[in-house]
Structure 1
Amino acid sequence: MEAAVRQPSGAKLLRILAFTTSISVMSATMFNIALPVIAAEFGLSLSQVSWVSSAYLLVYAVGTIIYGRLADAFSLKHLIAYGLILFSLGSLIGLFAPHYWVILIGRVLQAAGAAVIPAISEIIPVRYFPPESRGRAFGIVMTGLAIGSALGPVVAAFVMSVLNWQWLFCMPLFALLTVPYYFKHLNDKPSGAAGIDWPGGGLFACATALLLLAVTNASWMYAGGFLVLFMLFLARIRTAPEPFITPELLRNKPFVSGLAVMFVTTGIGFALVFLSPQLLANVNRLEPGLLGFALVPAAIATALLGRLGGALADRKGHLFLYFLATSLLAVSFMLMSTFAGMSPVLIAVALIFGNVGQSFLSISLSIAVSRSLPQEQTGVGMGLTAMLSFIASAFASGIYAGIIDRGADAAWNPVNGHPEAAVYSNLYLALAVLHLLLMLGRYAKAARST
């Protein structure tokens, strides 16, 4: 009965969420196009300047689970208002920043506020919709996420073609327009649950940052620091009265398995957002405006087909959608590997398969993870799911930037005849193989279970 009562309000919330999610994800991804310009302006390498994106994603990720835990003690509408105001404050700092380190401060504050969006985007479909229609709910939200990921570079290209790149910081101001609608349609009441284990959360955040530094800088010192802090974190969650992540949640095998798959596939899929603009700018030499046009078809296709993915999951099951999504992604990466260095029109076609596939995959995995959680662990579990997705994106951006900086000695794809695009072609080929292996592994697991 409760689900039936909440669904009309939930349908309105989904539309608001889709818009807000698009704004927050655009703010995360649109700076990818600006990275070469920022690097040239401040005399930095691509690996160094990639912190404009990876620092945002890291704070965004850790903040997501914190907001998820706060949602048990405070109303969602007040958390959203607080988060969006902080989001806008960071934007104003970045807009007028005179130095690179001030830009990073603005990005961190942006992320600290924007992290409320993925948290509620995972919680609302679970709280307001029953399992049999949850695919449609996640489909609408994931459509907003996919549109934001795809349109970020497009909007960035347009802004940079007529204004300075720092005007990209203005995008979050549009999210403030949604606050009155959340106050109108959210009717949740805080449960008065216990607070957050801040020491445990701090250990987790610092360990994650050190791991990212170890990956981007190939540093054993950072890797060692990560191991020490992560062991302290594991000890903390076993002794804290209200641990940051409960040990029981980590012993939930279906949940942990779903998180692992989501972590890997999100990192792979982030190549579409991070690598493709770099390829078109550095190899095809496209100006920002033309680069944006190459990304428009994928954005349109994702917007049109996102809800279809949710409907397919409800009718045929999330596993069917998983195989369809991984097939589309494998095709996309193979095409990208082959077409790297060729006409941008071919890249635009390949991105359609990839963006739609990534949207379908996110829907499928979100449904699978939500069904593996007991009701009392839904908030923290879905918050952790969103958090790890963004951590995966942060890791991936550092890894991809480091590989691009090093270049390639040989081309692995014999069909691609463009040496200047070899490093991109090799990366896309490796990612296609990874998706095929994941699909075969999931098929084998499904066959054993039947």
Structure 2
Amino acid sequence: MIGFSQALYWIFSVVPFMVISSLQIIEKGSEEVMTSTGQQSAEYNLNESEKKKIIFLMCSVLLFSAMNGTMFMIAIPDIANSFSLSPSQVSWVVTGYIILYAVGALMYGKLADIYPLKILLTVGISFFVAGSLLGFFAPTYLIVILARMIQAAGAASIVALAFIVPTRYFPEERGRVLGIVSSTMAFASGIGPVIGGFVAGALNWQFLFLISALIIFTIPFFRIWMPEEKKKEGKVDILGAFLIAIAVATLILFITAFVWWYIVISICFFSLFAWRIFHSDNPFIHPDLFKNAPYRITIMAGFFGIMTMFGMMFMMPLMLSEVNGLNTLFIGLTLFPGAMAAAYVGKWAGVLTVNRGSKQVVYIAFVLMTLGFFLLSTFTGSSAWVISIVIIISYIAFPFIQTGTASLISIALPSNEIGVGIGIYNLFNLMSGAFGSAIIGKMLDNQSSMAFNVFSVAQGSGIIYSNVFIGLALLTILNGGFFYFAFKKLVI
């Protein structure tokens, strides 16, 4: 049984090991000469062919990275049966992955301000493949957990750098490229359950690891196609990285498990980290970063926006199973049109970001989210094909909220803080997903006989789902109001 002491061992030993090992590998592998200034040493004059190659590569690896999480959520029951595990034990397949994914996204973001992206991606993909191969041959459950954590340590580089690449290499087209990146993530989230259900059902859950290992074939292309960069001045505060890793890990553990001593540990280490950043000559995160009002507002609005989106995605399989009686495969097929729509619409989110501005795209996202949540609340309990159509509106909001907020952050921050700024943005997004899922999970444990939405057709067990959806709509309205009034006097 994996208890508290074992959890602490895996998290507090594996996270720093991955961070420190990555730094050593990068330091040894970086043959570029350090520039004398901390600024960009050269412009990246890429032609259209080179741009397309980089975008294709990033979207390809991002697809594997994002899909990896949702594929394994489908396989949780099969893994539990294979090793005779309880629900709390098997949940570590997801929880352990989320923890390192979130911490790693912050770490790689910080490293991106110093080290070439080509090297960071090579290291990250290597971790991801190593974890995938280990998981495929894993003889015990503890090895499966270790494999997932190594996977996460690598996958985090992909999600972190996918939002940095457009800002660094395509500054004039970052809105359009961010739209493509966001649509890829939305598509991966939707297609993951379909592929996971099919592979786990037709073969075995361990073959999900083998699918992820295919990403190894992208490494030579990254080495050839990614622009050459020079290592910039600066170093990583290892102690600060260690403190924030433990603080974030225990916070996510508290969010997912609601055990009080996790939050006590988290507060202690956040306090130590806060002391560190004010007393270090080279802090892991400079405290002035949060004095940037546009950045701070965007992070907060993005946190609640992504929280509601992930809450919706968490609820949908549960609702379709409990209320509509669908199995894993048909749940995936029901969600698939929404994922396809998000993938298609994402490019338009990028175009609108360029033509109308990032704030307008965020407003559109809030409108789509509110409408989508209201319609889901209204039609909860309807036929699966009706839900499949209705959910399209909610899904297409995903690339809008991600594209708009990521673009705002890239505009608000100076170039030497883009990496760590995007890292914090990704960290908050992943934490919001864990927080939203945990809170909604607790809410769904209750039953309700009164529907808050007077137009709802829900009955029986569907009423609580309808009420939670209407709650998400109201929270989105409040979040949109905060975003509007907070930015009203700011010029972006």
TM-score of the alignment, normalized to the shorter chain, above 0.5: yes
Give the alignment partner of residue 299 of structure 1, picking from 318, 321, 339: 339
Instruction: Report the secondary structure of 1:419's partner residue.
Output: coil
Deviations 1:343-372 (A, max 9, x none): 111221122111111111100001111111
**Aligned match of 1:30:** 71
1:44 aligns with 2:92: no
Instruction: Report the secondary structure of 1:145's partner residue.
Output: helix
Cα gap change, 1:3/1:279 in structure 2, threshold over 3 Å: closer, same or farther? farther
How far apart are 1:412 and its partner, in Å?
3.5
Give the alignment partner of residue 253 of structure 1, picking from 284, 293, 299: 293
**Mapping for residues 129-148 of structure 1, pairs under 5 Å:** 129-130=170-171, 132-148=172-188
How far apart are 1:321 and its partner, in Å?
1.2
Residues in 1 aligned to 2:486 and 2:111: alpha-carbon distance in whole angstroms: 36
Cα gap change, 1:77/1:234 in structure 2, threshold over 3 Å: closer, same or farther? same
Deviations 1:271-309 (A, max 9, x none): 233221222233322122222211221122112111111
Residues in 2 aligned to 1:285 and 1:446: alpha-carbon distance in whole angstroms: 45
**Aligned match of 1:335:** 375
TM-score normalised by L of structure 2: 0.85
Residues in 1 aligned to 2:192 and 2:129: alpha-carbon distance in whole angstroms: 17
Partners of 1:157 and 1:291 within 8 A in 2: no
How far apart are 1:111 and its partner, in Å?
0.3
How far apart are 1:221 and its partner, in Å?
2.3
Uncovered stretches (5+) of structure 1, i.e. residues with no partner: none
Residues in 1 aligned to 2:451 and 2:345: alpha-carbon distance in whole angstroms: 33
Give the alignment partner of residue 278 of structure 1, picking from 289, 295, 318: 318
Deviations 1:195-245 (A, max 9, x none): 211221121121112222222333332222221111111001111222111
Percent of counterpart pairs with the same letter? 33
**Mapping for residues 344-363 of structure 1, pairs under 5 Å:** 344-363=384-403
1:380 aligns with 2:433: no
Structure with greater helix percent: 1
**Aligned match of 1:158:** 198
AA at the equivalent of 2:402: S
Cα gap change, 1:388/1:444 in structure 2, threshold over 3 Å: closer, same or farther? closer
CA RMSD of the aligned region, Å? 2.3
Instruction: Report the secondary structure of 2:235's partner residue.
Output: coil
Partners of 2:176 and 2:354 within 8 A in 1: yes
Deviations 1:23-77 (A, max 9, x none): 10000222222334445664433x6544322321221121122223333443322
1:206 aligns with 2:250: no
Residues in 1 aligned to 2:77 and 2:366: alpha-carbon distance in whole angstroms: 31
Residues in 2 aligned to 1:40 and 1:335: alpha-carbon distance in whole angstroms: 37
Partners of 1:237 and 1:244 within 8 A in 2: yes
How far apart are 1:434 and its partner, in Å?
0.8
**Aligned match of 1:267:** 307
Residues in 1 aligned to 2:380 and 2:294: alpha-carbon distance in whole angstroms: 38
